[in-house]
């Protein structure tokens, strides 16, 4: 597909709640093109760097949501195709891994989402361009990934907008009805923002064991609250 066709498709998708069947078909063709690049990027990681990444292509819904939320054009969207690596590593090891990955591709740039966190989301991304299509390679430490997965799960239950700084659905709903000082959904989202800062601080300090134990205790408290709520 040409750039102008992709842009026009993006403009149509942005303007509709329910994409037309023809546009869905075009989006499938586009994602199939991205899948070719995804396959090549995965092979480079495996064969040149002996890394086992997992892959995914963005869904129709998340593409349309992003077009509506941001001014990004469909032709410029960098994360339609993505690979993810999660490992136990220090921040300097994460930096080193991101640089090694960037060095393995002819056209690559590092997007430092630790330096520029997005509503608490922190990671290192390497954007590589293969046959005209960008592929986003996410490099996350275990704690960064834990935070991102927990936030995604909360977003599934309370509205995906929380991942972009907006309040959850029914944000003042107390989690436990008869408690004297009720904790609301909005409070939990704020707590998650606090955890992100705490994880960043802990990782920057090299993850001293007693600090890690404190964070673990806090996360277990959050986990117990989720169990009480029977919240997936």
- Give 175's contacts (C-beta < 8 A, 6+ positions apart): 182, 183, 184, 185, 188, 225, 228, 229
Supply angle C-alpha 152, 155, 159, rounded to 5. 155
104-163 residues in contact with another protein (CB under 8 A) are 142-143, 145-146, 149-150, 152-154, 156-157
Shortest spacing between CB 25 and another protein, in angstroms: 9
DSSP character for 105?
S
Closest CA to 32 of 1, 77, 68, 66: 1
Residues 48-87 vs another protein: string with x where CB under 8 A?
Answer: ----xxxxxx-xxx----------------------xxx-
Q: Rank residues 54 and 118 by Cβ distance to another protein and give the closer one.
A: 54
Is 90 near another protein (CB under 8 A)? no
By rule CB under 8 A, what string of x and - marks binding of each residue 5-24 to another protein? -------------------x
Binding mask 184-213 for another protein (x = CB under 8 A): ----------------------------x-
Angle made by CA atoms 177, 187, 151, in degrees to the nearest 5:
110
Cβ atoms of 135 and 114 closer than 8 Å: no
User: Residue 232 contacts by C-beta under 8 Å, 6 or more apart in sequence?
Assistant: 153, 156, 157
Residues that bind another protein (CB under 8 A): 24, 28, 31-32, 35, 38-39, 42, 52-57, 59-61, 84-86, 142-143, 145-146, 149-150, 152-154, 156-157, 212, 215-216, 219-220, 222-224, 226-227, 231-232
């Amino acid at each position: 597909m040409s750039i102008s066709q992709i842009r026009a498709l993006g403009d149509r998708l942005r303007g509709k709640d329910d994409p037309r069947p023809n546009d869905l078909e075009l989006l499938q063709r586009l994602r199939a093109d991205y899948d070719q690049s995804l396959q090549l990027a995965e092979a480079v990681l495996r064969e040149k760097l002996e890394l086992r990444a997992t892959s995914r292509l963005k869904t129709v819904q998340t593409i349309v949501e992003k077009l509506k939320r941001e001014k990004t054009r469909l032709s410029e969207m960098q994360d339609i195709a993505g690979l993810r690596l999660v490992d136990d590593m220090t921040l300097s090891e994460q930096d080193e891994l991101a640089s090694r990955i960037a060095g393995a591709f002819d056209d690559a740039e590092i997007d430092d989402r630790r330096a520029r966190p997005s509503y608490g989301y922190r990671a290192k991304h390497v954007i590589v361009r293969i046959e005209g299509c960008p592929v986003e390679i996410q490099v996350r430490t275990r704690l960064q990934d834990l935070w991102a997965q927990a936030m995604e799960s909360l977003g599934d239950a309370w509205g995906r907008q929380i991942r972009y700084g907006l309040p959850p659905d029914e944000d003042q709903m107390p989690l436990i009805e008869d408690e004297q000082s009720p904790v609301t959904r909005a409070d939990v989202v704020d707590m998650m923002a606090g955890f992100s800062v705490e994880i960043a601080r802990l990782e920057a300090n090299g993850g001293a064991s007693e600090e890690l134990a404190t964070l673990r205790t806090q996360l277990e408290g959050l986990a117990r609250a989720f169990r009480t709520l029977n919240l997936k």
